[in-house]
Amino acid sequence: METGCPPEIPAVSPTFFGPGACNYSELGEVRMDFHLSDEQRAIQDLARTFAREELIPGCAAFDRLADGEDAFPWDLVERGSKLGFNALAIPTKYGGAGANVLTQCLVMEELSAGDPAVSKVYSHNWKALFGLMAIASEEQVLRVIPDFIEDPRYCLGIAMTEPNSGSDNSLPYAGDTKSGPMLSAVRDGDHYVLNGLKKFIAMGKQAKMLTVFGRTDKSVPWTEGTSAFLLFPPKEGFEIGRLHDKVGLRLYPQFDLLFDNVRIPVEDRLGEEGTVHASRRNITNIGTLEATSTALGIARHAYELAVEYAKERVQGGKPIIEHHAIGTLLLEMFTRLEASRTLLWRSACSIDNGGDDDPKLARATKVMAVETLNYIASHAVEVWGGMGVMKEAPMEKIYRDAIQLYHMGATNQLNILKALPLL
């Protein structure tokens, strides 16, 4: 298939990394000599320009809308897609740019510094497609990707979470048949009949294709009895339920989805029955690093605004950045931000170079980044003083968005629990 990438983002060359970019030694240890290629810097600059010139000024108004139904910035999403962000991570054989994990992280940080909700639209689509490619047949993949590449408003959804099934999906109890997703998927001839409720599903209304996870066998733990299905709305019996009114990332909508005898053809089942859990493990680390990049983008924006304000705000006869209490605080923010980014790049490079794809490293990276984000966001509000909590200033939105990252890509407590057995 010929590449469908727009000219702004070229298809990735075999030398996408620069010659010094995070290589492995003979012992399998990562050399910390990060060096971005010219292509990576160009894509990073493109994302930064789009974030500063369009996302920051364009998203603030949407965030204020009381009716969340109207708070989806379709025009901005479309413009970013036409720049190539939606297809950035798609392999070149399907028409995407084929960007590696580090490049995805670079772009996510830049876009998230502009608006994390819009950046999440793109990265969520990447994650959904990675999941699809991990478990779908080639024929099923080709039913989705060409339209996804062609349509700048094509969004995807992952219908996994349920009212009583959240963290259990990531940390299942051994032998427990009552935890995990319980949406029923019962075979009826050449169809499966789906009944149940999904909760907090990102892009549930906007998605033109949803990957739906349902229990095909409730007599065994969900890790052995869950299957995945393609669903192309509209579909008889499928309804969009409540739109959740969130504190942060308001432009990244999450819905309840209702299934009432929804019939899915057998050919739309992904893989064999009950095998979906093993397939999902292959994309967990990349999804964790994507959430980490989002956190770093918000943190960097908060830090930059804090420094800018501290240089302009004069108290005690001099800019407040010259007061040690503020200056040392800003340096601590800078140090944590740089340390978190270094760990993120280390994790991304370990995947890109085919080395130690270490799940505990990815989870530790996310834990550190979220703690860094909330440290920087809260102290940036403090640096801004009274203006920090005014809705006319940018800090209060940043703080609201920061809180949301505690609950994205699994909570910090869950990531720690998942990493502990791997020490």
Of 17-21, 289-293, 408-412, which gets the smallest average pLDDT?
17-21
Is residue 2 very low, low, confident or very high in pLDDT (cuts 50, 70, 90)?
Answer: very low
The pLDDT value recorded for residue 423 is: 79
Q: How many CA atoms lie within 13 A of 4 on its CB side?
A: 21
pLDDT of residue 160: 93
Contact 401, 251 (CB under 8 A): no
pLDDT band at 142 (very low <50, low <70, confident <90, very high): very high
Q: CB under 8 Å to 101, separation ≥6 — which residues?
A: 286, 289, 348, 351, 352
Which has the minimum average pLDDT: 140-154, 202-216, 345-359?
Answer: 345-359
Return the pLDDT at 4. 42
pTM metric for this prediction: 0.90
**How far apart (Å, rounded) are the C-alpha atoms in residues 353 and 24?**
7
Distance separating alpha carbons of residues 353 and 243, to the nearest angstrom = 40
Q: Could you give the C-alpha distances from 13 to 7, 40, 256, in angstroms and in order?
A: 14, 11, 41
């051994």: which residue's tokens?
Answer: 174
Query: And the tokens for 273?
Result: 């029955």
pLDDT greater than 80 at residue 253: yes
pLDDT at position 27 over 90: no
Q: Which helix (H) or strand (E) holds 134?
A: helix 116-135
Residue 308 CA to residue 422 CA, distance in Å, equals 42
In whole angstroms, how far apart are CA 155 and each of 85, 87, 145, 166, 194?
12, 11, 11, 23, 22
Q: What is the mean pLDDT of residues 376-383?
A: 98
259: which strand partners?
196, 238
Determine the residue type at 186. V
Per-residue pLDDT tens digits for 392-409: 999 999 999 999 998 887
Residue 150 CB burial class (10 angstroms; 0-12, 13-18, ≥19):
exposed
Predicted local distance difference test score (pLDDT) of residue 414? 76
> Regarding predicted confidence, which is higher, 221 or 27?
221
* Cβ atoms 370, 406 nearer than 8 A: yes
Q: Are 180 and 223 within 8 A, CB to CB?
A: yes
- Residue 282's pLDDT band (cuts 50, 70, 90): low
Angle between helices 284-312 and 359-383 (to 10 degrees): 20
Q: What is the pLDDT of residue 171?
A: 67
Higher pLDDT among residues 105 and 279, named by residue: 105
In this predicted model, what pLDDT tens digit does every residue of 42-56 receive, in sequence order? Answer: 999 999 999 999 999
pLDDT at 172: 61
Q: How far apart are CA 283 and CA 270, in angstroms?
A: 16
Lowest mean pLDDT among 114-128, 154-168, 253-267: 154-168
**Averaged pLDDT for residues 9-33:** 45
**CB within 8 A of 242, min separation 6: which ones?**
255, 256
Q: Going from the N-terminus, what domains does the chain have, and what CATH number goes with each?
A: 38-155 (1.10.540.10), 157-274 (2.40.110.10), 280-422 (1.20.140.10)
Per-residue pLDDT band at 61 (split at 50, 70, 90): confident
**Average pLDDT value over all residues in the chain:** 88
| pLDDT, position 8 | 60
Question: What's the whole-number mean pLDDT along residues 98-120?
Answer: 96
Q: What is the DSSP letter of 387?
A: G
d(CA 259, CA 194): 6
Give the ranges where 282-422 is alpha helix by DSSP (H). 284-312, 324-352, 359-383, 395-404, 412-419
Kindly report, residue by residue over 324-367, the tens digit of the pLDDT. 999 999 999 999 999 999 999 999 998 888 755 677 888 899 99
The residues, any chain, with a CB within 8 Å of residue 296's CB and separated by 6 or more, are: 109, 112, 337, 340, 341, 344, 369, 372, 373
Question: Which pair of tokens denotes residue 26?
Answer: 């003979």
Q: What phi, psi does 239 have (nearest 5°)?
A: -130, 150
Q: What is the mean pLDDT of residues 219-243?
A: 95
